[in-house]
């Protein structure tokens, strides 16, 4: 049998891309406006629609995965002027490295000075044998499973890790504001810049921005960033990963600039139906002098028409911030935002000085009115809208929490395909790209705070979340906690009051909620302090609570917690396998069908959030070891659908008819025996046919509970038909598969972008001699890739201990997934899959050329010799052995090479001696290296361990490069400089040692 070669040549890729462009005005608009990666992206009116996978678009041959989307996945939609990616060029060390203990008083004195951090935070630390990594990076996902590690975190050892990165800043940037931003580090992190400790980030869900400007060095004087990530810390009871697992950025802004998160504009509908957009713009000024500027704000629609504009003047003192407030009022009707039609508008803010625009920011906003009515639930733009939501953790198979952008989008597209219209970001701030896509795809988002604590450090985390996300039209509520033991107490209520007040100060419009799991009826409870009651589970108490609080709106912040193993249709507790037929749920939860029935029947319950949309690593409830992943997902950890996918589609999807029937129809040996089937449709009627014969007919189909059927097994073709007015409007077919004959590879997209960070998931399945998906195949697939890399593997089995990295993965109930990235070239990515006894599969994925996002280039590491002691001015040439007396911290200057002043000499001769104790990096110690002074002023002698290494004879400042012989440290390096008759002398630039 020939290989199942489903090559997708580049030509085909481009053709299908063109077809999409032709058919989708919104997409065309998006491309024109910069979603391809250009500077400032504007939202497009029907942009979301262009991103959707048709709800019933599944592959032929019984593979229930969507057909590949044409072209490469679009890039994250939001860019910022002055922002460069800092994802590349990191060095990583797994494990902690203790800080050295200073040996004597002088060393102690110096060790606590700015710029003098020691150990791995020091400028000259030898990290040359650390591993080169690219962000996002989650080192826990590469760990083996360890029964001694934490069950909730998925039995993955986490620990502590170090990162270092060298950055060159163009001298042209001097005078600009330079920010270093990490979107998320798991879990506690300390950041150093050039040997100074600059930030503590004490939540893995919160980003941290560092003002690099005062620490920055330019040109050849490079900057070392060091990060210690402590992932021994737990903030949750699920898999949280380890390391710098979201993007890192370098952002430059003009001296007078719009601050990060400095634009707040959120349309508010007035009682008369008109809209106002109160816009507040925060400016920062890093100069000395007060500066004033004109701030102009305007709202433009997707066609680029300006709907309204206004301006105000702001004055900002030096090293201070100032605000401009502008209220905009669009004339006439504006297209509203909703999940079905996520129309975005562009709020453009420009800052002008002397008539010249010096900074600008474009923010996507949406006009939508969110009102929670205690009796009718959510009224979105005046229309009762049931929240059909899922709770979502952020990790994915193979990559842990370091989910590539394209996969982030694809996960959301799968949820959209499900008919879901809302996501609760459990239980902490998501990556910023997730919010940007939710705006565009059309999801209502419950944004959630992580730790329940109104103490200043933790309140700051909540405030950070609100500031970051308050412009997003998708965000409809802020959740301040999830299931807290203090929820039914006076203290809990007092805590929530403070968190709510903090939110309200920053966002007066959105309701504050808390996801309660008890205490609802206590005399004092947090329900009394929130705008919107969030019920986790306790569905039997909805009516009682509503009767007691008829004026308080409520929703199910969490429900279901039903169990299921994807592709399994009988439970086997011994093997930790649970049927996917929606029969089992946690004692506090209910099946998908029961849960939604309780919500759908009650208009006063605004909707619900299923626990969970996709499976996640960790929390393997109801089991523990050897189970390592969750059983709760509507989809498994790879995004492969469980039976719950069909159930939820039937319950939620109104835009297209669908039908679902499970299990598959491959049961050799069970001929004549009844097979228990679950069939469900959103159409009025349902019919099931076996080999052309009707075996079940349901005149009034139940779209919430579905129908359990027992159909005697006979191999062949089983069809479920959705019927409306006598017509078949949707169909799902299972054909009995024969033995597996070949592997097959099905990508999520027909092309990969030319940027090396683009990624896609590829489904691996087995097919029989007729090309039919074999749902029971469990073969081990061995993969080989060219033109890229496999960055993760999975198969959705919560009990599997196979590595998520590498090149081999077994199919689990017919399916496995490889996540691949292209290399830096433009050649195609070729993936081959082999399994013993099966014909191999080969997939060729073309690359789509497109401009790469601005990126800070990686720099080759070098050892900066930055700790010098400089003698006082001496009248005559000193002996090279001259050194300060023990305990004398003051007679000699301690100077870093970059900021060394070049002392002006008086008349006659003046001498200085510079002394440094160096420990050459291991490579230099072993083989010798090159010692380079970028600028040495005056005549000079350089001595190493008492021997002359070289001389500089001309007095003018000039570079000097000398060969440093091999030898381990500590080594004494001495530079004697002389200046004559008022000239300058000294180390006047960086000193580097390179292997
Ligand atoms: C809830 C909790 C979730 C998850 C779930 C499992 O109580 O909020 O994080 O643990 O239970 O059923």
The answer to whether 670 and 713 have CB atoms below 8 angstroms apart is yes
Closest C-alpha residue for ligand 1 atom 4: 611
In terms of Cα–Cα distance, which of 983, 865, 882, 989 is closest to 930?
A: 865
Peptide bond just before 774 cis, omega within 30 deg: no
Q: Give the burial string for 251-273 (b: 16+ CB within 10 Å, else e).
A: bbbbbbbbbbbbbbbbbebeeee
Q: Could you give all domains of the chain from N- to C-terminal order, each with its CATH number?
A: 14-28+56-77+741-848 (2.60.40.10), 90-133+138-243 (2.60.120.260), 257-365 (2.60.40.10), 387-560+590-615+634-655 (3.20.20.80), 668-734 (2.60.40.10), 863-994 (2.60.120.260)
Ligand 1 centroid–CA 619 distance in Å is: 9
Q: 611 CB less than 6 Å from ligand 1?
A: yes
Q: 560 CB less than 6 Å from ligand 1?
A: no
pLDDT at 136: 98
Ligand 1: which atom is nearest the Cα of residue 427?
9
pLDDT at 27: 26
Backbone angles phi, psi at 608, to 5 degrees: -155, 165
Ligand 1 centroid–CA 404 distance in Å is: 26
Ligand 1 centroid–CA 591 distance in Å is: 15
What's the CA gap between 478 and 390, in Å, rounded?
Answer: 16
In terms of Cα–Cα distance, which of 314, 307, 356, 370 is closest to 334?
A: 307
Ligand 1: which atom is nearest the Cα of residue 589?
12
State the angle between helix axes of 490-506 and 456-469 in degrees (0 to 180), rounded to the nearest 10.
40
User: Residue 984 has what DSSP assignment?
Assistant: B
pLDDT at 51: 83
Q: 483 CB less than 6 Å from ligand 1?
A: yes
Instruction: Give Cα separations from 20 to 24, 33, 53, 70 (angstroms).
Output: 6, 17, 12, 7
Q: 630 CB less than 6 Å from ligand 1?
A: no
Ligand 1 centroid–CA 539 distance in Å is: 15
> How does pLDDT run across 439-496, given as a tens digit for each residue?
999 999 999 999 999 999 999 999 999 999 999 999 999 999 999 999 999 999 999 9
Ligand 1 centroid–CA 428 distance in Å is: 14
Mean pLDDT on 918-935 = 94
For the chain, what percent of residues have pLDDT higher than 70?
94
Q: 239 CB less than 6 Å from ligand 1?
A: no
What's the CA gap between 166 and 994, in Å, rounded?
Answer: 14
Ligand 1: which atom is nearest the Cα of residue 561?
12
pLDDT at 896: 74
Tokens of 596: 């939604």
Tokens of 70: 């044409």
Q: 627 CB less than 6 Å from ligand 1?
A: no
pLDDT band at 32 (very low <50, low <70, confident <90, very high): very low
- Residues written for the chain: 995
Q: Residue 944 CB: number of other CB atoms within 10 A?
A: 19
Ligand 1: which atom is nearest the Cα of residue 483?
8
Ligand 1 centroid–CA 520 distance in Å is: 17
What's the CA gap between 52 and 351, in Å, rounded?
Answer: 36
End-to-end CA distance of the chain: 54
Ligand 1 centroid–CA 50 distance in Å is: 34
Mean pLDDT on 339-364 = 97
Q: 482 CB less than 6 Å from ligand 1?
A: yes
Parallel, antiparallel or unpaired: strands 345-353 and 356-365: antiparallel
**Mean per-residue pLDDT of the chain:** 93
pLDDT band at 189 (very low <50, low <70, confident <90, very high): very high
Closest C-alpha residue for ligand 1 atom 3: 611
Ligand 1 centroid–CA 537 distance in Å is: 9
Ligand 1 centroid–CA 517 distance in Å is: 10
User: Residue 35 has what DSSP assignment?
Assistant: I
Mean pLDDT on 847-866 = 91
pLDDT at 9: 33
Mean pLDDT on 109-127 = 93
Parallel, antiparallel or unpaired: strands 554-560 and 532-536: parallel
Q: What is the DSSP string of 820-875?
A: EEE-SSSSPEEEEEEETTEEEEEEEEEEE--PPPPBPPP----EE---EEEPPPBS
Q: 484 CB less than 6 Å from ligand 1?
A: no
pLDDT at 274: 95
Ligand 1 centroid–CA 234 distance in Å is: 16
Q: 586 CB less than 6 Å from ligand 1?
A: yes
Mean pLDDT on 160-184 = 97
pLDDT band at 899 (very low <50, low <70, confident <90, very high): low
Ligand 1 centroid–CA 729 distance in Å is: 38
List the Cα angle 955/958/960 in 5-degree steps: 105
The answer to whether 882 and 871 have CB atoms below 8 angstroms apart is yes
Q: To test ligand 1's pocket by mutation, which of 427, 564, 609, 619 has the most ligand atoms within 8 angstroms of CB?
A: 619
Ligand 1 centroid–CA 657 distance in Å is: 32
Which residues have a Cβ under 8 Å from the Cβ of 112 and sit 6 or more positions away? none
Ligand 1: which atom is nearest the Cα of residue 236?
9
pLDDT above 70 for 37: no
Q: 656 CB less than 6 Å from ligand 1?
A: no
> How does pLDDT run across 362-394, given as a tens digit for each residue?
999 999 999 999 999 999 999 999 999 999 999
What's the CA gap between 262 and 453, in Å, rounded?
Answer: 26
Ligand 1 centroid–CA 855 distance in Å is: 39
Ligand 1 centroid–CA 620 distance in Å is: 11
* Type and span of the H or E element at 216: none
In terms of Cα–Cα distance, which of 299, 346, 295 is closest to 321?
A: 295
Q: 612 CB less than 6 Å from ligand 1?
A: no
Instruction: Give Cα separations from 12 to 7, 215, 627, 763, 849 (angstroms).
Output: 10, 51, 42, 20, 14
What's the CA gap between 342 and 333, in Å, rounded?
Answer: 16
What's the CA gap between 385 and 359, in Å, rounded?
Answer: 39
Helices (H), 570-656: 592-600, 643-652
Mean pLDDT on 310-326 = 97
pLDDT at 57: 77
Ligand 1 centroid–CA 384 distance in Å is: 28
Ligand 1 centroid–CA 557 distance in Å is: 11
Three-state SS string over 495-548 comes to: HHHHHHHHHHHHCCCCCEEEEECCCCCCCCCHHHHCCEEEEECCHHHHHHHHHH
Q: To test ligand 1's pocket by mutation, which of 389, 558, 584 has the most ligand atoms within 8 angstroms of CB?
A: 558
Ligand 1 centroid–CA 675 distance in Å is: 33
pLDDT above 80 for 807: yes
pLDDT above 70 for 14: no
What's the CA gap between 127 and 94, in Å, rounded?
Answer: 12
Ligand 1: which atom is nearest the Cα of residue 630?
6
Closest C-alpha residue for ligand 1 atom 6: 561
Ligand 1 centroid–CA 432 distance in Å is: 24
Which residues have a Cβ under 8 Å from the Cβ of 413 and sit 6 or more positions away? 51, 52, 53, 69, 441
Which residues have a Cβ under 8 Å from the Cβ of 811 and sit 6 or more positions away? 764, 765, 766, 777, 778, 779, 780, 781, 795
pLDDT above 60 for 38: no
What's the CA gap between 641 and 110, in Å, rounded?
Answer: 60
State the angle between helix axes of 432-441 and 405-417 in degrees (0 to 180), rounded to the nearest 10.
40
Q: CA 327 from chain center: how many Å?
A: 33
Instruction: Give Cα separations from 385 to 141, 338, 501, 773, 907 (angstroms).
Output: 39, 10, 28, 38, 86
Q: To test ligand 1's pocket by mutation, which of 389, 611, 620 has the most ligand atoms within 8 angstroms of CB?
A: 611
State the angle between helix axes of 643-652 and 592-600 in degrees (0 to 180), rounded to the nearest 10.
10
Mean pLDDT on 85-89 = 97
pTM score: 0.93
Q: 558 CB less than 6 Å from ligand 1?
A: yes
Kindly tell me the sign of the dihedral angle through the C-alpha atoms of 823, 825, 829, 832. Answer: negative
Instruction: Give Cα separations from 99 to 92, 408, 475, 939 (angstroms).
Output: 17, 37, 43, 37
User: Residue 102 has what DSSP assignment?
Assistant: P
Ligand 1 centroid–CA 558 distance in Å is: 8
Q: 631 CB less than 6 Å from ligand 1?
A: no
Ligand 1: which atom is nearest the Cα of residue 588?
12
Q: To test ligand 1's pocket by mutation, which of 391, 483, 610, 631 has the most ligand atoms within 8 angstroms of CB?
A: 483
Mean pLDDT on 956-964 = 95
Q: 561 CB less than 6 Å from ligand 1?
A: yes
> How does pLDDT run across 278-301, given as a tens digit for each residue?
999 999 999 999 999 999 999 999
Closest C-alpha residue for ligand 1 atom 12: 561
> How does pLDDT run across 517-569, given as a tens digit for each residue?
999 999 999 999 999 999 999 999 999 999 999 999 999 999 999 999 999 99
List the Cα angle 883/888/889 in 5-degree steps: 100
Q: 252 CB less than 6 Å from ligand 1?
A: no
Q: Max CA-CA distance within the chain?
A: 111
Q: CA 661 from chain center: how many Å?
A: 35
Q: Residue 36 CB: number of other CB atoms within 10 A?
A: 16
Q: To test ligand 1's pocket by mutation, which of 450, 514, 561, 614 has the most ligand atoms within 8 angstroms of CB?
A: 561
Which residues have a Cβ under 8 Å from the Cβ of 79 and sit 6 or more positions away? 34, 37, 38, 39, 40, 41, 853
Ligand 1 centroid–CA 953 distance in Å is: 73
Parallel, antiparallel or unpaired: strands 829-835 and 971-980: unpaired
Tokens of 584: 């089992």
Q: 702 CB less than 6 Å from ligand 1?
A: no
Ligand 1 centroid–CA 611 distance in Å is: 7
What's the CA gap between 564 and 661, in Å, rounded?
Answer: 16
Ligand 1 centroid–CA 970 distance in Å is: 55
Instruction: Give Cα separations from 166 to 95, 190, 406 (angstroms).
Output: 20, 17, 27
């Amino acid at each position: 049998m020939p290989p199942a070669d489903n090559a997708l040549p580049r030509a085909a890729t481009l053709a299908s891309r063109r077809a999409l462009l032709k058919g989708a005005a919104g997409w065309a608009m998006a491309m024109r406006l910069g979603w391809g990666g250009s500077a400032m992206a504007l939202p497009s009116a029907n942009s979301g629609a262009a991103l959707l996978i048709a709800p019933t678009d599944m592959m032929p041959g019984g593979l229930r995965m969507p057909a590949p989307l044409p072209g490469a996945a679009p890039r994250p939609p939001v860019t910022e002027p002055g922002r460069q990616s800092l994802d590349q060029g990191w060095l990583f060390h797994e494990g902690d490295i203790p800080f050295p203990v200073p040996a004597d008083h002088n060393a102690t004195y110096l060790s606590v000075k700015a710029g003098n951090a020691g150990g791995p935070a020091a400028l000259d630390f030898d990290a040359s044998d650390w591993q080169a990594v690219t962000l996002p990076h989650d080192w826990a996902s590469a760990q083996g499973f360890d029964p001694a590690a934490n069950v909730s975190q998925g039995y993955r050892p986490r620990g502590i890790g170090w990162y270092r990165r060298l950055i060159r800043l163009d001298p042209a940037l001097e005078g600009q504001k330079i920010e270093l931003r990490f979107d998320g580090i798991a879990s506690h992190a300390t950041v150093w810049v050039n040997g100074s400790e600059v930030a503590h980030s004490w939540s893995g869900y919160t980003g941290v921005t560092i003002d690099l400007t005062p620490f920055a060095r330019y040109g050849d004087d490079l900057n070392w960033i060091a990060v210690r990530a402590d992932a021994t810390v737990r903030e949750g009871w699920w898999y949280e990963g380890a390391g710098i697992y979201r993007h890192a950025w370098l952002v430059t802004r003009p001296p007078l600039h719009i601050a990060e998160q400095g634009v707040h504009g959120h349309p508010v509908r007035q009682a008369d139906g008109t809209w106002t957009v109160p816009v507040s713009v925060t400016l920062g000024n890093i100069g000395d002098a007060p500066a004033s500027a004109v701030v102009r704000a305007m709202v433009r629609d997707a066609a680029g028409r300006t709907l309204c504009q206004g301006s105000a003047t702001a004055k900002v003192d030096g090293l201070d911030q100032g605000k401009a407030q502008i209220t905009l009022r669009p004339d006439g009707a504006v297209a509203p935002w909703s999940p079905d039609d996520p129309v975005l508008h562009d709020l453009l803010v420009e800052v002008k000085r002397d008539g010249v625009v010096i900074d600008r920011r474009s923010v996507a906003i949406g006009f939508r009115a969110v009102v929670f009515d205690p009796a009718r639930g959510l009224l979105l733009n005046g229309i009762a809208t049931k929240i059909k939501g899922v709770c979502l953790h952020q990790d994915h198979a193979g990559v842990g929490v370091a989910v590539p952008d394209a996969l982030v989008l694809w996960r959301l597209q799968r949820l959209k395909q499900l008919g879901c219209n809302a996501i609760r970001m459990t239980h902490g701030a998501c990556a910023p790209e997730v919010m940007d896509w939710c705006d565009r795809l059309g999801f209502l988002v419950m944004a959630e705070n992580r730790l329940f604590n109104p103490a200043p450090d933790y309140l700051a985390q909540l405030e950070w979340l609100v500031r970051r996300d308050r412009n997003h039209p998708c965000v409809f509520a802020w959740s301040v906690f999830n299931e807290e033991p203090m929820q039914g107490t006076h203290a809990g209520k007092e805590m929530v009051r403070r968190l709510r007040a903090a939110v309200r100060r920053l966002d007066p419009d959105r309701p504050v909620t808390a996801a309660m799991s008890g205490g609802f009826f206590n005399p004092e409870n947090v329900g009394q302090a929130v705008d919107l009651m969030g019920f986790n589970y306790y569905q039997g108490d909805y009516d009682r609570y509503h009767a007691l609080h008829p004026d308080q709106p409520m929703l199910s912040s969490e429900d279901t917690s039903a169990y299921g193993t994807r592709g399994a249709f009988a439970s086997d507790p011994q093997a930790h396998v649970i049927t996917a037929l929606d029969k089992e749920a946690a004692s506090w939860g209910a099946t998908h069908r029961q849960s939604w029935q309780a919500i759908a029947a009650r208009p006063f319950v605004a909707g619900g959030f299923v626990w969970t949309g996709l499976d996640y690593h960790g929390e393997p409830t109801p089991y523990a070891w050897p189970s390592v992943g969750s059983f709760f997902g509507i989809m498994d950890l790879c995004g492969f659908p469980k039976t719950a996918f069909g159930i939820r589609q039937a319950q939620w999807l109104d835009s297209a008819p669908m039908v679902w029937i499970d299990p598959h129809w491959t049961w050799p040996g069970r001929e004549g025996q009844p097979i228990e089937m679950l069939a469900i449709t959103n159409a009025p009627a349902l019919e099931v046919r076996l080999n052309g014969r009707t075996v079940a007919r349901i005149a009034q189909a139940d779209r919430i509970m579905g129908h359990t059927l027992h159909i005697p097994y006979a191999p062949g073709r089983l069809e479920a038909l959705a019927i409306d007015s006598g017509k078949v409007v949707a169909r799902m077919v299972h054909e009995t598969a024969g033995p597996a004959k070949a592997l097959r590879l099905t990508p999520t997209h027909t092309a990969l972008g030319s940027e090396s960070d683009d990624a896609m998931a590829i489904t691996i399945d087995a097919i029989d001699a007729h090309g039919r998906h074999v749902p029971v195949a469990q073969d081990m697939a061995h993969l080989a890739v060219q033109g890229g890399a496999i960055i993760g593997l999975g198969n959705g089995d919560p009990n599997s201990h196979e590595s998520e990295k590498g090149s081999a993965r077994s199919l689990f109930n017919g399916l496995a997934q490889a996540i691949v990235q292209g290399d830096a070239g433009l050649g195609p990515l070729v993936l081959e899959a082999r399994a013993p006894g099966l014909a191999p599969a080969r997939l060729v994925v073309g690359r789509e050329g497109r401009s790469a996002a601005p990126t800070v280039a990686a720099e080759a590491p070098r050892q900066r010799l930055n700790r010098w002691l400089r003698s006082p001015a001496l009248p005559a040439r000193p002996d090279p052995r001259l050194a300060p007396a023990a305990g004398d911290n003051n007679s000699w200057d301690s100077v870093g090479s970059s900021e060394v002043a070049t002392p002006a000499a008086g008349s006659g001769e003046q001498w200085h001696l510079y002394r440094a104790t160096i420990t050459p990096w291991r490579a230099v110690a072993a083989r010798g290296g090159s010692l380079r002074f970028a600028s040495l002023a005056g005549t000079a002698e350089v001595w190493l361990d008492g021997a002359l290494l070289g001389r500089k004879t001309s007095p003018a400042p000039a570079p000097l490069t000398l060969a440093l012989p091999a030898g381990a440290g500590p080594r004494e390096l001495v530079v004697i400089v002389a200046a004559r008759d008022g000239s300058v002398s000294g180390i006047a630039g960086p000193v580097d040692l390179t292997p």
